[in-house]
Amino acid sequence: GTSLPGATLWLLDDELQLVPRGVLGEIYLGGILPARGYEGRADLTAERFVPDPFGQGTRLYRTGDLGRLTDGDRIEFHGRRDRQVKLRGYRVEPAEVEAQLARLEGVRSVAVVARSIEGRGLTLVAYVVPDEARRGRLETLREELKRRVPEFLVPSVFQELDALPLTPSGKLDQRALPDPEVGSSPESGSLSPLEEVVAAAFEHVLGAQGLGRNAHFFHLGGHSLLATRLAARLRRVTGVELSLRRLFEGPTVREVAAGVKALLGAAARQPALLPQRRGPRSPLSFQQERLWFLDRFEPGTAAYTISAALELRGPLNRSALSRAFEDLLRRHESLRTRFVEEDGRALQVLEAPVSVRLGALEVDEGDLEARLEALAGATFDLERGPLWRTLLLRVAPDVHVFALALHHIVTDGWSMGVVVRELGEAYGAYASGQVPALPEPPIQYADYALWQRAWLGDGELDRQLAHWRKALAGVEPLELPTDRPRPAVRRHEGFRVRREVPPELGQELRELARSEGATLHMLLLAAYGVVLSRWSGQRDFAVGIPVANRTREETEGLVGYFVNTLALPMDLGGEELSWRELVARVRETTLAAYANQDLPFESLLEALQPPRDLARSPVFQVWFNLVNVPEQEVRFGDLKARALGAEADESRFDLSLYAFEQEEELLLDAVANADLFDRWRIEELLDQLLLALGEMVARPDAGLDELALVTSRASRLPDDRASLSEAWQGSVPER
């Protein structure tokens, strides 16, 4: 409804800012209104009556109710803020679940609350008062409720009560509810031995405990990267290779166990990954060969430098930090390699461990960012080495910044997490006078390179190559409209533009992904493809995506260059293609790509032999990456440590889109080639991408041709809008 006469209603966020129309906010009341129970209670009054950000000296009453503004300028009530809880990254309104349960046959009354259960953490519990016909038969409630609400809203525990405890005023007395009986969950019951093995693998990868047979991998926070880790874990403990497609199609403990059972007895396709017989010089992996070739082709570029920086607060033990870094170099041979060419063949050369003494450089806090940017832009000589550089900066007596830069040929994003974790553990041990207890790596990167060549050379490379030849047949370079002619030789200078996805839209995207049996990565990729298609006028093109390529558990704790590049074909052809159909198409394409992710991109280029063009990257010209690895807790003994951003604006492609997902936050980060694009054009592209995502969740069955990517940016274009309009019309198809 609307406000009472003489009163005002405001919908505000946590910063007391107005929320946009349609977005959930807390309801605040303004005006001269009586309120019972606050006289003589200054603390409670200050909490509930806050300064009015829109008035002069007046106050607003914080109701604790949630609502959103409809198109008809009415407030739509959405429950209480103080009952809202956060489970596995999702906001849950228990009253919504209660309302749906109360509609089920045989349910007289119900209360849904979030309770902490040992071994499971915060869990949704439903206390149900059934009628006589339903008494003792709550096991069917779960399946009935799943047809009404998303999986994450279904309580894990259902408990039967004779009556709900009430306060004297007739309201639910939550404190009087009994402790939940975990055995009363509809999914409880003894697991089979194989289900126990699978549940343990789920728990290992997801960091969960006490999972039952209906535990859903993706609803518990799993995604494509974690699915790869799960497959690797199951391969080690069961000896079978479960495909990612099979995991997507049957993602519960029960379904995965059934899939493993069906595969037991069949030989795993990959041979065992064991230490290899090798000397001080050994072949490169296929991934390393590509970077070696690029370095020969374009030496001295910082496009393949990866850096990390840590702020360390407290009394720093420089000797312990130096010894910890020495340990890191000793444990991981990849950090002690350089690369040479002999008889036309590239080889990696292992160097002996070295002594490291880290000296601190005094620096003002104002110069810190420039120092880190300079390190992130460092270049390396692959033949001379070393392929790492360190920087220890003293910002204040008890504030230091330790930064490390590595060439991509010896590391990747996953490896940098290993580096930071092991460095912190070793420092903590040495600083306290102990010896680090880190286990030795089961293999080294050079072992992996030899294993990779032996495995792919035994027919597997040809099998996967056949898939990619077919998938990429007919794909043409993507021609986006540019602001300047493409230079004859591609450079890597770029710039960055960022947009935040509204939290409500992010939540709706995750819910849509679950309902479609897809991932957030697949939905974002589908919307990205639609915008790229509109801008280019092309229906068939390729988008580059990375895969961690750590399909073996032996590689999880290893530093090295494992990541592979996949050229994912985007097919937007067909009459009246809907969003839902496009997501299904992208899902199938992505799963097929994951099943053939071991073929090195270098081998694909060698087989396809695309026309050499110094002005653009081969096969694909745009990039997409969803970064959803949980933020790593950095531990450095008694020091307070936190990671610092050291982002470089190098652009390896025409356009790269990065999506960063942390908890409920979702950020879109575009890095564009500065030789091709102006900032306003990339800002417009991101604005249109947000519009496309909103349309996807609002009308998933609508045809893509109905999408109108019209933003308000037209009023914010540069002054020479007329010439820009002419240039625009001349650079895109007439439609």
**Does the pLDDT value for residue 235 go beyond 50?**
yes
d(CA 115, CA 87): 11
Q: What is the mean pLDDT of residues 139-158?
A: 79
Q: Which residue has the higher pLDDT, 67 or 582?
A: 582
d(CA 367, CA 359): 18
Q: What is the mean pLDDT of the chain?
A: 85
660 forms beta bridges with 627, 667
Token duo for residue 151: 């999986």
The pLDDT assigned to 118 comes to: 55
Maximum alpha-carbon separation in the chain: 90
Q: What is the mean pLDDT of residues 349-374?
A: 90
Q: CA dist 72 to 1, 4, 6, Å?
A: 10, 17, 20
d(CA 295, CA 13): 50
The pLDDT assigned to 265 comes to: 45
d(CA 724, CA 191): 65
Do the bridges between strand 388-396 and strand 360-362 make them parallel or antiparallel, or are there none, so unpaired?
parallel
Confidence bin at 697 (pLDDT 50/70/90): very high
**Does the pLDDT value for residue 632 go beyond 70?**
no
d(CA 709, CA 603): 38
Q: pLDDT tens-digit profile of 394-443?
A: 999 999 999 999 999 999 988 999 999 999 999 999 999 999 999 899 99
**Does the pLDDT value for residue 715 go beyond 50?**
no
Q: What's the alpha-carbon Rg for the chain, to the nearest Å?
A: 29
Contacts of residue 369, Cβ cutoff 8 Å, sequence gap at least 6: none
Q: CA dist 380 to 146, 282, 580, 705, Å?
A: 56, 21, 47, 48
CB 38 within 8 A of CB 64: no
Q: What is the mean pLDDT of residues 293-318?
A: 89
**Does the pLDDT value for residue 227 go beyond 70?**
yes
Q: What is the mean pLDDT of residues 142-152?
A: 79
**Does the pLDDT value for residue 384 go beyond 70?**
yes
Confidence bin at 233 (pLDDT 50/70/90): confident
Q: What is the mean pLDDT of residues 309-314?
A: 94
Going by C-alpha positions, the residue among 387, 657, 412 that lies closest to residue 521 is: 657
d(CA 415, CA 549): 12
Reported pTM: 0.67
The pLDDT assigned to 592 comes to: 85
Q: What is the mean pLDDT of residues 575-586?
A: 90
CB 709 within 8 A of CB 531: yes
Percentage of the residues of the chain whose pLDDT score is greater than 90: 40
**Does the pLDDT value for residue 185 go beyond 60?**
no
Token duo for residue 48: 């509930």
Confidence bin at 144 (pLDDT 50/70/90): confident
342 forms beta bridges with 345
d(CA 690, CA 670): 13
Confidence bin at 732 (pLDDT 50/70/90): low
Q: How many residues does the chain have?
A: 735
The pLDDT assigned to 183 comes to: 45
Q: pLDDT tens-digit profile of 447-478?
A: 999 999 998 887 888 989 999 999 999 899 99
**Does the pLDDT value for residue 322 go beyond 80?**
yes
What secondary structure does DSSP assign to 556-576, as a single string?
Answer: TT--S---EEEEEEEE--STT
Q: What is the mean pLDDT of residues 662-671?
A: 87
Q: pLDDT tens-digit profile of 635-653?
A: 899 999 988 865 566 788 9
**Does the pLDDT value for residue 482 go beyond 70?**
yes
Q: pLDDT tens-digit profile of 507-547?
A: 899 888 877 878 889 999 999 999 999 999 999 999 999 98
Q: pLDDT tens-digit profile of 105-136?
A: 889 999 998 887 654 567 788 999 998 877 87
The pLDDT assigned to 284 comes to: 95
What secondary structure does DSSP assign to 56-84, as a single string?
Answer: SS-EEEEEEEEEEE-TTS-EEEEEESTT-
**Does the pLDDT value for residue 188 go beyond 60?**
no
**Does the pLDDT value for residue 239 go beyond 80?**
no
The pLDDT assigned to 182 comes to: 53
**Does the pLDDT value for residue 56 go beyond 80?**
no
**Does the pLDDT value for residue 702 go beyond 60?**
yes
The pLDDT assigned to 645 comes to: 67
**Does the pLDDT value for residue 210 go beyond 80?**
no
**Does the pLDDT value for residue 721 go beyond 60?**
no
Helix (H, G, I), strand (E, B) or coil at 308: strand
Token duo for residue 553: 């558990």
Which strand (E) or helix (H) includes residue 330?
Answer: helix 318-331
Which of 327-336, 580-589, 722-731 shows the highest mean pLDDT?
327-336
Q: Where are the alpha helices (DSSP H) in 472-544?
A: 503-515, 520-536
Q: What is the mean pLDDT of residues 76-89?
A: 68
d(CA 672, CA 679): 8
91 forms beta bridges with 86
The pLDDT assigned to 28 comes to: 92
**Does the pLDDT value for residue 267 go beyond 60?**
no
Percentage of the residues of the chain whose pLDDT score is greater than 70: 89
Confidence bin at 187 (pLDDT 50/70/90): very low
Q: Find the helix packing angle between 286-297 and 601-608, rounded to 10°.
A: 70
